[in-house]
Structure formats: C-alpha cells, structure tokens
Structure 1
Amino acid sequence: MQYQTLPQLDEKVSKICLGTMTWGQQNTQDDAHAQMDMALSEGVNFWDTAEMYPSPPDKDKQGDTERFMGTWFSKTKQRDKVILASKMSPMSFLRDGKSRYTAEHISAAIDDNLQRLQTDYIDIYQLHWPERQANFFGQRGYNEDMAAQPLEDLTPFLETIKALNDEIKKGRIRAYGLSNDTAWGLMRYLWEADKNGLIAPITVQNPYSLLNRLYEVNMAEISHRENVGLLAYSPLGFGVLSGKYLDGKRPEGARLTKYDRFERYVNEQAKSATEQYAKIAAEAGLDMAQMSLAFVNSRSFVTSNIIGATNTEQLKSNIDSIDLTLDSDVLDAIEAIHTRQPNPSP
C-alpha cells in the first residue's frame, strides 16, 4: 500500500480509501464486516462513510452504513487503526427536513454519527454537499437558477467554520473537509478561515474518473496551491469503467441495473468513451478496472482514491490497483480519448 500524509493531522492515510455507500442496500452487515477485515489486512487504513448512507438514500435504512461500521469497531476493538471520515447532509429529510450547516445542526448530526459509529471521535468530518444550489451531482454547468439564490438565505460560511472549529476543540472531530463543492465554495471556506484565524478544510471529496476529469479544470490547482487534497469518489463511474456494462449488459444485482438514477454514466458519449478505454486495457493486457483506478491513483492532487465493492473479490482486485503503474503509451492513449470526448459523465 502507498500512503499520503494528511495536512494538519500529520497522519499517513492509504492512497486507497474504503468506500461504504452500498452497505445496507447491496451489502449486509456480514458483507460489510468482511470488507473491513480485508481492507485493514491489505493496509487500507482510511475509511469513508456518511450519515445519509446507504445510497440511494432511504429513510428506513438511513444510518445503517455507520451502524455496520460501529458494530465492527465494537467487535474488533480496532478503531485506533482506522482514519475515519464521515459526513453530514443539508437540505434532506434529516433533522425534520430542516437540515442546515448551522452550529445546532452540526452538533446534533455529530451526536448521531458518533452513536451509530460507536466511537468518540471522527478524524475528518465532511459537509456532504453545499447548502447552496451549485453544479454538482451530474450538473455540468452553473445556471441562472443557481445564480438567483441569495446567499443571505443560507447559513453563513463563518458560522459553519466556527462550529466545526468548536467540534475540533471538543475533540469530537479532528479535522474537516468539503464534498461535492466547487472552486468558489472551496476558496470561500479557505478565505473565511484564514481571515478569522480559524482551522480550514483539509480535503474535498468530489467525483473523479476517466469519465469525469472536471476536477482538473480549476479545482486541481487549489489542491496544489492550498494543500487541500482530493478524495476521489466514483473512480469507476459506478462500475462502468470495470467494463461490466459494455454492449448494453446489465448484470443482475449491479448498481446501474438496480438504480436508474445514475444513468449519466451510461449516456451515449460515456458508452463510446468506455468502449475506447476498454480497448486500451485489452491491448495493454490490463484489467480495465485496475487501469482506471491506477490512473486516478497516479494524479498528484489525489490524496486518496475511494473504492467501493459489493464483494471481497472485487475489493481485493480494486485494492491491488495500487501496485499498477501505467506506462507512457497507455497514458498517451488515455489522453487522446479524453481530448476527443472529455468528461462525458459530469
């Protein structure tokens, strides 16, 4: 395994992060425990979850992913071997449908996170998506409806930052990060924290894969200049970049077979690009999923690559991508496809 040092925490985290959002929908508690056992045995010490998981969100199952993790911590007594990240969500059915990034709601959310996780601290606490309307979750561009939303209607950035700093002082979280945010949003948090002498976010969790390299356009420079690493999610485009959906296939039990809300990963442009990436892998004698993950692993602005799996065989194969270094011919071929068909799955 390879490791990166997290700023502020001075902790070494695995370049591969264990993603968990299928636990409770596609995976049982036993499945989840088996994945945690394997991940730790393979040197994966960085795990990511959220109060909203499993995904897709379900009121009856909400929080089950954290509960599964909590029962594993209770059973194994190995919480201290894991760098744990979780999230809270705004504008959802949580907290009586009034969830915001206020001091009150942040405190209440962390109360519940800690109870489900059966721990007394979270290493990195993330804001799952912005309160404000912005171009995330498959929205490519910023539009007039988003621009029309007054910031005065939202929780002030400074209130949120102060609340998270207070939680750091209490020891309930050790650091915080953003997720599904934009360049403006990240810079606003950094500016407000710096202006007021407060602790700033250390990570941002956004999508990044061969099918979505929008992070490179303006966020990658912030990662480099401001030392805010990317936690890349959906590095396989919800499994599309494993090749299992090629030729219109819909494997039984697979994520895109079960949930049509993620169709952006199989639009016509995405299908075309995926077929071309599959050809590169085949010609180079590479497993397509490992090639796709190795590309993400190789990016200098990526702190950790969040991989998810529905079984331990997939998980082991995905973890093993850390040992794959793509040669220049493969990287050049990937770049040629990206030039022709950039970012088909925003």
Structure 2
Amino acid sequence: MIERIRLGASDLEVPRICLGTMTFGGQNTERDGHLQLNYAFERGIDFIDTAEVYPIPVTPDSAGATERIVGSWLRGKPRDRIVIASKVGGPGRGMQGIRTGAREEGLPLDKRDIVLACEASLKRLGTDYIDLYQIHWPARNVPQFGANRFDEALEREAVTLREQLEAMAQLVREGKVRHVGLSNETAWGVCEATRLADRFGLPRIASIQNVYNLMSREFEHGLHETCFRDRVGLLAYSPLAFGALTGKYRNGARPAGGRLTLFGDAWPRYAKPAIPAAVDAYAEIASRFGLTLTQLALGFVASRPFVASTIIGATTLDQLRQCIDGCGTRLPAEAMAAIEEVHTRMPNPAP
C-alpha cells in the first residue's frame, strides 16, 4: 500500500509516488503510455504529472502530445479518483517556434498566456479541471537546469509573479484549476509567491516541483527551510538523475534508447566531470548493503522528510515496476551514514 499525504498546506491528498509522463508521445507510443498508466493505477498511483510542452525534448510538432495521451487514457476512468497535474511553459528553454493552443509564439507567461495555456491543456486532457496547475519555470532571470549561480548580467524584463498568480486565481474561480504550484523555482520565488498570496488574497502554492537526487541536493540549502516554514510540498523530479543512478551509463556506456544517449547534449547537468566518480561511490554503497543502485537512489529520495511525492518516469513496464518498488526501499542507518560521507566528499556533482 502506497502511503498518501496532504500536499503542502492544501487539502489535496496525493500518493507518495507520482507517475511522470514526459516520454509519452516521444520515446513511448500512446499504447505504451496507456500500459504504464494502467499499471501505475493498479499499484495505487493515481497522481499523474504532465505538461503542455511534453514530450521532452519539445518540438513544434510534438508539443502537447503527452497531454493528449493522458487524456485518451482518462476517458472512462473515475475522474474524481485521479489527480492530474500539468504545467504551463514560459520563455526560453528551446521554446522558439513552439505554439500551444491559441497562444502567440514567444510564450511570455503573462495572464492571457496562462489562461489560454490552461484552456488548451484542458481540451487535450479531455477534462473540466486540472487538480494541480504549475508554472513550469520562472519567466524571470534565475539559474536553472544546470546553471548554479545567479548572473545579474542576464537580468531582463519579465512578467511579475503577481500577474501570474492573478491568472491562477481567475482559473481557480472559474473551476478550471483546483490548486497551484511552482516548478524549477528558487527560495526567493517561493517566499514571494507566499507573500503575494497572503497580501492580495491570491492562491497559495501547494507544491514546488524541483530536481532532487543523490547527484543534486541543492534543495537542502535554502529551499528546505523555506518550504518547511511556508508549508510547501516538494515533488521531487529526476530521482534517478536521468538514469545515471541506475548505473547503466557507468564506465562510459551509452546504451541504446537511454535518455542521456539520445538527448545528453540537451542536459549538461548530467554530463559534468564529477558525476562518474560519484555514481561509482554510490554503487559501492548499494552493493555493500545488498541493494541495486536504483533502490539506493530512490530509497534515499523517498526517505527525505521534505519530499511529498517522488516523480518517477520510465520507458518500459519493467523499469516502471523497478521504480515503484525502489521507492519503497528502507535504507538502514549505516547506509544513510555512508551516503552522507560520500556527499561530504563529492557534494552535488550535478547542480
């Protein structure tokens, strides 16, 4: 039985495991996606995360395909027993030429943009409401997706977080969105969102969806305290570091079909020079305690008190089974101590 939890300060109850879908429509066909969704649902995972720009990497032809696949599966299912999370994209991140719904090219992430994006997502999903609607990444200048320091020289004009939350408020009033969240955010962004919600009566964020894994634990610095005090739940994505923490890329291997094999150039975070040694060190710990590296990595993420739900993704049913089972791994205190020793020597090789 998968444990359930209230997400942040909201009344939204979710399982501690969430099914990520960003391969649906890309590496996975509609049939593949439906098989994964059925298997996850049978295992008690009724929390599904998608986005208007999935599958990743996004292209003008593929954007929105994942939501359509989730929507075709959702037909005939008990909608009130399924939590659908989606996200609205913004400027940057290879979005040139991408159009979703009725929006203009460029995706400024202003009020009109967010409302139109949500309405287009609802149509693709074939539902009247989205349980958790998230801003996929900030419109403003922030270090993200492998950048690890704030660069003042990159400052630019951007839509304010207040305007974005006002758009979310409209969607909540209209019944199109139940709860709101952020993704790829900073401690400042969470604090600002909470302040704006309290001051102007706007929706309070229930969650933040950020990367968290053995290779990237930066959430622990600043964001952990911020989310604890503001009662915001972490939806931890990439718990296996794009597959690096399965061990399949050790010794320079590039297995066919692996995401780093196919799309590694687009994800510099997991190509940094300190990663192979760190993976080897964690693999040794896993072996010492009779675990697979996957079990160690997922068990670690699931053990963190600030992780509300771990987002897992897979391209095969066997991978999905291993991920679900791995999230249930309970690590002994000695294994946790060994992890901390490696982290002290090799902190955050993939920030």
TM over 0.5: yes
| Cα pair 2:7 2:232 within 8 Å, conserved | no
Say whether the 8 Å CA contact 2:5–2:308 is kept in structure 1.
Answer: yes
Q: Distance in 2 between matches of 1:274 and 1:206?
A: 21
Matching residue of 2:153: 145
Could you tell me which amino acid in structure 2 is paired with residue 81 of structure 1?
Answer: R
Contact 1:168–1:175, Cα closer than 8 Å, also in 2? yes
Confirm or deny that 1:132 pairs with 2:172. no
Q: Give the corresponding residue for 2:72.
A: 71
Does 2:253 match 1:253? no
- Equivalent residues in 2 for 1:198-277 (5 A)? 198-260=202-264, 261-277=266-282
Q: CA deviation at 1:258?
A: 0.7
What is the aligned length?
Answer: 341
Distance 2:8 2:275 in 1: 35
| SS class of match (1:202) | strand
Identify the residue that residue 26 of structure 1 maps to in structure 2.
Answer: 27
Matched AA of 2:229: R
Hey, what's the Cα distance between the residues in 1 that align with 2:23 and 2:263?
12
- Asked if the contact 1:8–1:175 (Cα under 8 Å) also holds between the matched residues in 2, the reply is no
With over 3 angstroms needed to count, the CA separation of the structure-2 counterparts of 1:338 and 1:90, relative to structure 1, is: same
Is the Cα contact below 8 Å between 1:51 and 1:88 reproduced in 2?
yes
Q: Which residue of 2 aligns with 1:53?
A: 54
Question: Normalising to structure 2: TM-score of the pair?
Answer: 0.94
Distance 2:166 2:140 in 1: 19
One-letter code of the match for 1:221? Answer: E
1:26-84 CA-partner distances (Å, limit 9, x unpaired):
1000000000000010111111000000001111111000000000011x423322111
Q: Is 2:339 the partner of 1:334?
A: yes
1:229/1:301 contact within 8 Å kept: yes
Do the aligned partners of 2:10 and 2:206 also contact (CA within 8 Å) in 1?
Answer: no
Cα distance in 1 between the residues matched to 2:268 and 2:290: 29
Deviation at 1:8, TM superposition (A): 5.2
Report how far residue 115 of structure 1 moved.
Answer: 0.6
Q: Conserved in 2, the CA contact under 8 Å of 1:18 and 1:307?
A: yes
* Alpha-carbon distance between aligned partners in 2 of 1:284 and 1:272, rounded to the nearest angstrom: 19
Residues 331 and 8 of structure 1, relative CA distance in 2, 3 Å threshold: closer
Q: Distance in 2 between matches of 1:266 and 1:294?
A: 24
Cα separation, 2, equivalents of 1:171 and 1:53:
24
One-letter amino acid of the structure 1 residue matched with residue 135 of structure 2: L
Q: Report the 3-state secondary structure (helix = DSSP H, G, I; strand = E; otherwise coil) of the residue aligned with 1:296.
A: helix
- What is the SS of the residue equivalent to 2:222? helix
Residue of structure 2 equivalent to 1:4: 5
**RMSD between aligned residues:** 1.2
CA contact 1:123–1:173 (8 Å) conserved in 2? yes
How far has the Cα of 1:196 moved from its partner? 1.1
Match in the other structure for 1:297: 302
5+ long unaligned stretches in structure 2:
none
Cα distance in structure 2, aligned partners of 1:8 and 1:325: 26
2:128 aligned partner? 120
1:87–1:126 contact (8 Å) kept in structure 2: yes
1:16/1:304 contact within 8 Å kept? yes
Q: How does 1:170-209 map to 2 (within 5 A)?
A: 170-209=174-213
Q: CA deviation at 1:9?
A: 4.3
- Which letter does structure 2 place at the counterpart of 1:14? P
State the one-letter code of the partner of 2:87: K
Quote the offset at 1:97 in angstroms. 2.0
Aligned residues of 2:130 and 2:176 also touching (Cα < 8 A):
yes
Aligned match of 2:38:
37
Supply the distance in 1 between the matched residues of 2:235 and 2:153 (Cα, whole angstroms): 28
Of 99, 108, 120, 2:107 maps to 99
Partner in structure 1 of residue 324 of structure 2: 319
Q: Contact conserved, 1:6 with 1:13, CA < 8 A, in 2? A: yes
Residues 114-139 of structure 1 deviation map (CA, whole Å, 9 limit, x = unaligned)? 01001110000000001012111110
Please identify runs of 4+ aligned residues in structure 1 that moved more than 3 A. none
| 8 Å contact kept, 1:2–1:322 | no
Encode CA deviations 1:152-177: one digit per residue, 9 max, x unaligned: x2222222111101111111000100
Q: Tell me if structure 2 keeps the 8 A contact 1:256–1:263.
A: no
Structure 2 Cα separation of the partners of residues 309 and 242 of structure 1: 12
C-alpha distance in 2 between matches for 1:155 and 1:12: 31
* CA displacement, residues 254-312 of structure 1 (integer Å, 9 cap, x when unaligned): 11111122243132201110010001001111021121011111111111100000011
TM-score computed with the length of structure 1 as normaliser: 0.96
